[in-house]
Structure 1
Amino acid sequence: MKTPIRKFLSLIIPLFIGLGIMYYQYSTMTTEQIEKTKISFLKADYFYIFLSLFIALFGYWSRAYRWKYALQHLGYKTKFSNDLMTVCVSYLVNLTIPRSGEISRAALLKKYEDVPFDKAFGTVVAERIVDMLIFLLFLAIGFVIQFDTIYQFLIEKGVKFETLIWLSISGFILFVLFILIWIYAEWNIILKLKQKLSGLIEGMQSILKMKDKWSYIFHSFFIWFSYLMMFYVTIFALPETANISFDIVVMGFIFGTLAVGFSNGGLGAYPLAISTVLFLYGIPEETGAAFGYLVWTSQTVLTIFLGLLSYLLLPILNKK
């Protein structure tokens, strides 16, 4: 398949998925529920929405600062302003083609700081691995504290818990096999792949070898702490969600994060996931939908604003 067609499909398919989810959610709600959703938007306390956006800025700052440690370990001293703006642009690009922001971040740093693309991209991949491990920690904690609710939900949906266990075990075994093959196999295809990915691997290994690895780890946890807090403070924007317990907030945060990968920036999928989780805990569907769209819309607007602003400022602030 030609590259332009592939790029077009990678953009349009997630977009149609998101729009389809939005249509599904809208079509399953009654006229009364839709009206109540509109009322929730009107009566929301937007002080907490703006507070969540303020907290989100710390996440952007911390992600850029964490990246600087990895780049310094590789011997590249970059301007923090360039690190921050490329991070902002990458968030914006991810709204178009999921996970494409990582490529744009490394490409922009190559352009403005002359950091080799493969090494910069390797540090970004390393970040994603660390982020995935921290998210899995959230997932494990949420699963433990809400085991009974999740188990009952799976039974009602006809999903056997034993099936999920076997799938998890199979996935873990395949992952271990892949690691063993990568380390010990002498196959030509593996050796050629290792050679092509040498810069990428160097960037990934920089975490374990870097001088400031504990600062790197601190920022990694702080990023996710800021994500959780900006989600948490938003519950106070609506009277119906203001009193939900923190463990429910954690579950909403987990499923909302998972939903982001289903469509462009979580379009449609994020609000549906949030409303579904809150409905399990007695929050009306229309209130959950309003809450989900409040969070998603505010964060998306911030992403677009910071991304466009950074894209415009990068060439201006880097004039030679």
Structure 2
Amino acid sequence: MRLNKKQWIQVLLSLGVAVWIFWFLYKDVKFQSLLDALRETSFTLIGLSILVSLLGFYLRAWRWKLLIEASENASVSTGRTFVALMIGYLANLLVPRAGEVARCGVLAKTENSQMGKLFGTVLLERTFDLFFMLLTVFLAFVLERELFSRLLSELISLETLYQKVSGLIPLLIGGFSVFVIFIYLVFQKYRDAGIVKKIRHFIRDMLTGLLSLKDVKNQLGFWSSSTAIWITYYLTMLLVALAIPSTASLSLSSVLMVMVMGSIGMVAPVQGGIGTFHALVAFILMAYGLSDEEGKIFAVIIHSSQVLTIVGFGLISLGVFFKITAVKASKSL
């Protein structure tokens, strides 16, 4: 995936913001404190957390395979979707949100799949991820409602937020309506132009991918894997919490709240959630009585273990991808 000058500037700006947030958070944390914490950390549990996270990646690859097969009526191996997925995660560490396009591009080359349909299945995946994330947030709210309510009231005024949002609703509806009408008129005027035909074809394929859920034969597998993916996220967080003495006494519901805050931090448009993940995880751990330093050390340990896992398996997957494409190229000669 090639980036133009403007995109490179955006990437460098987001990386600069991420690095600045990370530096600001950790400028007062002594390196010796991190080394002391690592000496007391159970690397057996850290290793188990990595294995669990890899299981989550595999389940995500398998779930994607179900959607692709429903969209294209063609068989796809889970190994190929896993390779594409890990390369996508690796791309996200370099360019925020590039991973979704990257993994579709990888699978399009290795499986000769249609890019539009693949992107549609990814959008559907992300829709369900958002749905399960909201369910997780709701569960955390129910289990930790007192802490949740207190933190929310400290951060924002609910009454002020409601007033601002309600005042913007008419403007948002009007602006969206004008945008839809404008796009419709442009498409009507230039419907026979080559670029418009390509866009229409891509959108049609994307909608086919989005609607592929109803054609998934293994509905039980799809829904159970979607649930299991979030369970692996939780178990990964729990195992790391148990591995570090300062967080080993956290309750199960407290770990769930930490996971929720970490998930929100990963949504930020910076490379790999750098900085934002650490800030939110450290913030919530301080609410549970940990010191500022202990919260930041926990955040850097779990984030680093996941980043190293993605880099390692992402590079291996990249090698596998180059080998597959080289074999395909040699056969076509």
> TM > 0.5 between the two?
yes
2:296 aligned partner, one-letter code = A
Question: For residues 71 and 248 of structure 1, what CA distance do their matches in structure 2 show?
Answer: 37
CA contact (8 A) 2:110 2:324 kept: no
- Runs of 5+ unmatched residues, structure 2: 192-198
What corresponds to 2:194 in structure 1?
A: none
- The CA deviation at 1:290 is 0.9
Change (3 A) 1:215 1:182: farther
Partner of 2:230: 224
- Aligned-residue offset at 1:78: 1.8
Q: Does the CA-based 8 Å contact 1:37-1:289 persist in structure 2?
A: no
- Alignment-derived partner of residue 135 in structure 1: 133
CA distance in 1, matches of 2:264, 2:290: 20
- Structure 1 position 30, deviation (Å): 6.4
Partner of 1:162: 159
2: CA distance, partners of 1:60 / 1:144: 28
Q: Are 1:87 and 2:85 an aligned pair?
A: yes
Contact map agreement 2:26 2:296 (CA 8 A) in 1: no
2:85 aligned counterpart, secondary structure: helix
- Give yes or no for the alignment of 1:200 onto 2:206: yes
1:243-282 to structure 2, matched below 5 A, reads 243-262=249-268, 263-282=270-289
- 1:150 and 1:175, CA in 2 relative to 1: closer, same or farther beyond 3 A? farther
1:167–1:250 CA distance, 2 compared to 1 (3 A)? farther
Q: Distance in 2 between matches of 1:12 and 1:295?
A: 25
* Shift in Å, 1:213: 2.6
Query: What displacement does 1:188 show?
Result: 3.2
Letter aligned with residue 68 of structure 2: L
- CA distance 1:220–1:154, shift in 2 (3 Å): closer
What is the aligned partner in structure 2 of residue 70 from structure 1? 67
The question of whether the paired residues in 2 share the 8 Å contact of 1:40 and 1:238 is answered with: yes
**2:29·2:293 contact (CA, 8 Å) conserved in 1?**
no
CA contact (8 A) 1:98 1:261 kept: no
Residues 54 and 3 of structure 1, relative CA distance in 2, 3 Å threshold: closer
| 1:103 to 2:101 alignment | yes
Q: By how many angstroms is 1:145 displaced?
A: 2.8
- Sort the Cα spacing of 1:156 and 1:135 in 2 relative to 1 into closer, same or farther, 3 A: closer
- Residues in 1 aligned to 2:168 and 2:88: alpha-carbon distance in whole angstroms: 30
Instruction: Give the whole-Å Cα distance in 2 for the aligned partners of 1:170 and 1:219.
Output: 41
Q: CA deviation at 1:146?
A: 2.5
Q: How far apart, CA to CA, are the structure 2 residues paired with 1:168 and 1:224? A: 31
- 1:103-123 Cα distance to aligned partner (Å, 9 max, x none): 011111111110011111111
Instruction: Quote how far apart the aligned CAs of 1:165 are.
Output: 4.7
Other structure's SS at 2:4 match:
helix
TM-score by length of 1: 0.88
Measure the CA separation in 2 of the matches of 1:235 and 1:285: 16
CA 130–30 in structure 1, closer or farther in 2 if over 3 Å, else same: closer
Alpha carbons of structure 1 residues 38 and 217: separation in structure 2 relative to 1, 3 Å: same
Instruction: Name the CA distance, whole Å, in 1 between partners of 2:129 and 2:176.
Output: 19
**Aligned residues: CA RMSD:** 3.0
SS in 1 for 2:254: helix
Letter in 1 for 2:33: K
Does the CA contact (< 8 Å) of 2:241 and 2:248 recur in 1?
yes
DSSP 3-state at the match of 1:240: coil
Map of 1:59 onto structure 2: 56
Q: State, as a whole percentage, how many aligned pairs show the same letter.
A: 23
> Is the partner of 1:76 in helix, strand or coil?
coil
Partner amino acid, structure 1, of 2:210 = M
> CA 1:111 to 1:196, structure 2 compared with 1: closer, same or farther past 3 Å?
closer
SS of corresponding position for 1:244: coil
Distance 1:112 1:196, change over 3 A: closer
Distance 1:166 1:221 in 2: 36
CA pair 175-129 structure 1, distance change in 2 beyond 3 A: farther
TM superposition shift of 1:98: 1.5
CA distance in 2, matches of 1:25, 1:186: 44
| Shift of residue 41, structure 1, vs aligned partner | 2.3
Give how far 1:247 is off. Answer: 1.3
Query: What are the ranges of 5 or more consecutive residues in structure 1 without an aligned counterpart?
Result: none
